[in-house]
Amino acid sequence: MLAGGTYSLTMTNAERWSAYERRERDARFIIAVRTTKIYCRPSCPARRPKPENVTLYDTVAEAREAGFRACKRCKPDDELEPRAGLVADLCRFMEANRERRITLEELSEFAGLSPFHLQRTFRAELGVSPREYLAALRRRESAPGDVVTYGFFESALGPGLIAETRQGVCAVSFSADRGELLTWLREQMPYATLGEGVVDNAVRGLLEYIETGSSDLPLDVRGTVFQQKVWNALRSIPPGETRTYEQLASASGRPDATRAAGTACGSNRIAVLIPCHRALRKDGGLGGYRWGLDIKRELLKRELKA
């Protein structure tokens, strides 16, 4: 069992499954799904699998050794600080329930905080209130009339998927698993009509960006006002240069929102073209990267040589 967890090794599998059904945020065990080969936190908002397809583990190491890979929604490998972990779980809860009305009281109960402390904690982490985040989430998503064309590519950074609307590129992600990429795209744009098609110009622009650090591809960028400001600040960084999360927060008009700037980088769904790989910690460390630190290192190395 993970150190410091609320639940001990004496929990029965039935008790663990019950905690999983309730999406207990403090539950410290791992759910691994044999049909998808993915392991999750108990608080993951993804659709619940059938019990017969599930294996329970005490640690992520055990799940990895058994051949499972980490869920990209709940990110069970991440060591999050308590506040960051709480807000991340709140965001995923809202993402999973965005089609219905979610009250502040419901969020407060989920988080175990008063409405006042919930709002203050959420704003400190993301720069917006829960209500503003949910509204932006709905605006950011595709509308029922949106048409998204996607295609797969091979690059120096590995295989991936790129998708575009009439406005421009709306998503880029890296993975060798095409099924995983399509699942991710559907989660990102649940109301759009998705179709595989010709995206040659988008692919050429992406490959150009990987090689040179720049491209004139139009983007379809959707997010909160603060997220948009952080992403614009990232796009203004010249190739070969980096900025700290503190500098991004200041450039976005919120010098006190360093953590929120980092979270905005993690929410970026257009890899490379919105260059969140150029964001570093204050001490020069790489920090996190949604598509893996190996890709982040390679991008920075290429841009320094360009």
Token pair in block for residue 199: 């995206």
**C-alpha to C-alpha distances, 16 to 23, 34, 47, 51, nearest whole angstrom:** 10, 17, 17, 11
Place of tokens 């598509």: 291
Q: Enumerate residues 6+ apart whose C-beta is below 8 A from 280.
A: 242, 243, 244, 245, 286, 287
Segment (H or E) for 116:
helix 115-126
In terms of phi and psi (left: phi > 0; alpha: psi -120 to 50; beta: otherwise), the region of 281 is beta
CA 141 to CA 251: how far, in whole Å? 26
> What is the rounded (10 degree) CA torsion for 148, 139, 182, 218?
50
Write phi, then psi, for 268 (nearest 5 degrees). -65, 130
The DSSP call for residue 1 is -
Q: Is 170 among the residues known to form the active site?
A: no
Question: What single-letter amino acid sits at 244?
Answer: T
Q: Enumerate residues 6+ apart whose C-beta is below 8 A from 103.
A: none
Q: Is 40 among the residues known to form the active site?
A: yes
Place of tokens 């503190």: 246
CA 12 to CA 293: how far, in whole Å? 37
- Catalytic pick from 40, 74, 170, 265? 40
Token pair in block for residue 161: 């998927």
- Catalytic pick from 44, 71, 265, 276? 276
Please list the active-site residues.
Answer: 40, 276
